[in-house]
Amino acid sequence: DAGVIQSPRHEVTEMGQEVTLRCKPISGHNSLFWYRQTMMRGLELLIYFNNNVPIDDSGMPEDRFSAKMPNASFSTLKIQPSEPRDSAVYFCASSFSVGGLKEQYFGPGTRLTVT
Amino acid sequence: AQSVTQPDIHITVSEGASLELRCNYSYGATPYLFWYVQSPGQGLQLLLKYFSGDTLVQGIKGFEAEFKRSQSSFNLRKPSVHWSDAAEYFCAVGEKGGSYIPTFGRGTSLIVHP
């Protein structure tokens, strides 16, 4: 199994531009999580999908952030317009969670720099 | 609300020395407990997990953790640390039969001296 795949691995963009991060979860997993990690705030959960449906998006910072999961094998996190404070490492994780939380499998992350 | 505390932000050990990383949780029900490791520039990787049964669990890379309900702790241990163990370690707790969203601690950075 290739694990969780994220693209791109690095993204540098200018303030005001649209940024789209992509994630392919592990096949057969039914839960998908988007996290953001910074030195100041640590690891933050942005949004959680179960069976492709957004269940909890309370961590999404503001309307500039949106996430979709059109099918079980693909999810996107979009930032429009981007701001310098969005600079962080964004992780996607998946799990097979039935009857409660199970272990998560994390992707390698996308390092986003907004100038 | 559930919470996870990792009281040590940084820990420094010498190579070959033993290691214990602390994790305390605040939770009323039966928790699911996890330890993850994050090497520089990489995502988090599961080291071990506890759902039920034997309170001493073995993980990968020679790590083990012990669940102590009376102390609400799930400390991570390794008898002899290798330089390659230098990384960030995260404790996480989930809810048995409930929310699928884990709560993570802030992490402990392990520094290994030769």
Q: How far is CA B89 from the centre of its chain?
A: 6
Q: What is the pLDDT of residues B27-84, one digit of tens each?
A: 767 788 999 999 999 999 999 999 888 899 999 999 999 999 999 999 999 999 999 9
Q: What is the pLDDT of residues A18-73, one digit of tens each?
A: 999 999 999 999 999 999 999 999 999 999 999 999 999 999 988 999 999 999 99
Give the N- to C-terminal CA distance of chain B in Å, as an integer. Answer: 41
On chain A, the residues whose CB falls within 8 A of the CB of B43 are 4, 91, 93, 106-109
Q: What is the pLDDT of residues B8-28, one digit of tens each?
A: 999 999 999 999 999 999 876
- Contact between B100 and A99 using a beta-carbon 8 Å cutoff: no
- CB distance from B15 to chain A under 8 Å? no
Chain B nearest-CA distance from A47, in A, is 10
On chain A, the residues whose CB falls within 8 A of the CB of B94 are 100-102
CA distance B79 to B64: 9
